[in-house]
Amino acid sequence: MFAPSTGSTPLIRAACTLLLACASPAQAAPEEFNLDLGHTFPTFEVRHLNVATQRGRFNRSSGKLTLDLAAGSGAVQVSMASTSVDTGNDELDKLLRGKYYFNADEYPEITYRSTAFVFADGKPSVIKGELTFLGQTHPVELKVQFFGCSRLPFLGQRCGADLSGKFLRSEFGMTAMQGFVGDEVTLLIQAEAVKGAAPEAPKP
């Protein structure tokens, strides 16, 4: 038998290293985030009398984000307290919390859960998911208008996004005052999420 020359040893070692690297590629672990309730406010827009846009927001929300930028995957869940609807008009808020609209006593939460993330240029561009509202669940797609992450030492690691999507309220059984209030609703979610424990929600 012939003994390998000493000059071939580095080449053999390099080949073995390459094979091991291909057989066991490094995997980046998904990162878990919690919504920062002081910087997360889902809002909605709907036509009023077909002359203007009525806007409102939910002052209380909660949720979680799982993100793996290296793998191009993610998941998000956002819950909005229908009892916290706020249009800046107390009388209108009482009406919206009632049985003809959000029916907050029977359905205190509105929930959005993702089913898939679509990435473009290394960032989320579209979130496909389902909205559960008034006891019904239907698919709603959210466009990612902006996405960013920060690792400032005094604020910890956080990621945020501006999301927008549309749905028909009648598909969820909300049909009141259709001659006066539009059917198409725009859902906007301004969200920030922090890695680790979420900051306390601001006091009302």
Prediction pTM value: 0.82
- What is the rounded CA–CA span in Å between residue 181 and residue 23? 59
pLDDT at 161: 97
CA 142 to chain centre: 8
- What is the rounded CA–CA span in Å between residue 75 and residue 55? 27
**What residue segments make up the domains of the chain, in order of their start?**
28-195
The structure tokens 């969200």 sit at: 191
Domain at 28-195: CATH code? 2.40.128.110
- What is the rounded CA–CA span in Å between residue 33 and residue 160? 10
What length does the chain have? 204
pLDDT at 197: 75
How do the pLDDT tens digits run along the chain, 204 residues long? 444 455 555 444 544 443 443 443 445 689 999 999 999 999 999 999 999 999 999 999 999 999 999 999 999 999 999 999 999 999 999 999 999 999 999 999 999 999 999 999 999 999 999 999 999 999 999 999 999 999 887 778 999 999 999 999 999 999 999 989 999 999 999 999 999 776 676 665
The contacts of residue 161 (CB under 8 Å, 6+ apart) are 124, 144, 145, 146, 147, 148, 189, 191
